[in-house]
């Protein structure tokens, strides 16, 4: 696996108990048989973009789509689902929550992967980020304290 793939797998393992903690705090436990990542894509994409920026040194951003605007992630039945993921400036897609749609739990692929249809505009993403960044920043602090990502981080604007 690539260095980004290895990092993505480590980040996924790190996040799984934090997702459950978030669910417990929000009194929203997953249904039996549901992926533990269900509903965590916005928080996770924000966390992942920043963590990979710190680990990789490249530029990463949150991307996503909504079926109503022709985007999202295609499930196995080809139906689009609202979804967020991280993408690098050179077009690498990293998704740590794809299992909620029947895909592998960690996907590292290219921007042109037909499962990913980006339809959110930059403005829509910027409006969404304030809702997810507080929790993503807490997760980044924990990741830094555990040595998973560099500490002394400078969060991207």
Per-residue model confidence as pLDDT tens for the chain (157 residues): 589 999 999 999 999 999 999 888 877 766 666 788 999 999 999 999 999 999 988 999 999 999 999 999 998 778 999 999 999 999 999 999 999 999 999 999 999 999 999 999 999 999 999 999 999 999 999 999 999 998 754 444 4
**pTM of the prediction?**
0.91
- Helices 122-145, 3-25: crossing angle, 10 deg rounding: 90
What is the reported pLDDT for 86?
98
Q: What pLDDT, on the 0 to 100 scale, is given for residue 153?
A: 47
pLDDT at 1: 55
49, 120, 54, 115: which is closest to 87 by C-alpha? 49
Give the pLDDT of residue 31. 67
pLDDT (0 to 100) of residue 155: 46
Whether 41 contacts 27, CB under 8 Å: no
Neighbouring CB atoms inside 10 A of 50's CB total: 25
128, 63 in Cβ contact below 8 A? no
């Amino acid at each position: 696996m690539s260095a980004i793939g290895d990092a993505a797998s480590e980040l996924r393992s790190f996040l799984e108990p934090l997702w459950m903690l978030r669910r417990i705090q929000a009194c929203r436990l997953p249904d039996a048989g549901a992926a533990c990542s269900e509903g965590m894509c916005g928080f996770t994409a924000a966390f992942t973009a920043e963590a990979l920026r710190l680990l990789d040194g490249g530029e990463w951003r949150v991307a996503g789509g909504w079926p109503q605007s022709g985007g999202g992630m295609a499930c196995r039945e080809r139906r689009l689902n609202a979804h967020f993921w991280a993408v690098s400036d050179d077009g690498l897609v990293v998704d740590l929550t794809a299992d909620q749609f029947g895909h592998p739990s960690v996907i590292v692929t290219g921007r042109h992967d037909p499962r990913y249809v980006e339809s959110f505009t930059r403005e829509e993403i910027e409006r969404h980020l304030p809702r997810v960044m507080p929790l993503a920043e807490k997760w980044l602090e924990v990741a830094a304290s555990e040595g998973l990502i560099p500490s002394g981080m400078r969060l991207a604007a």
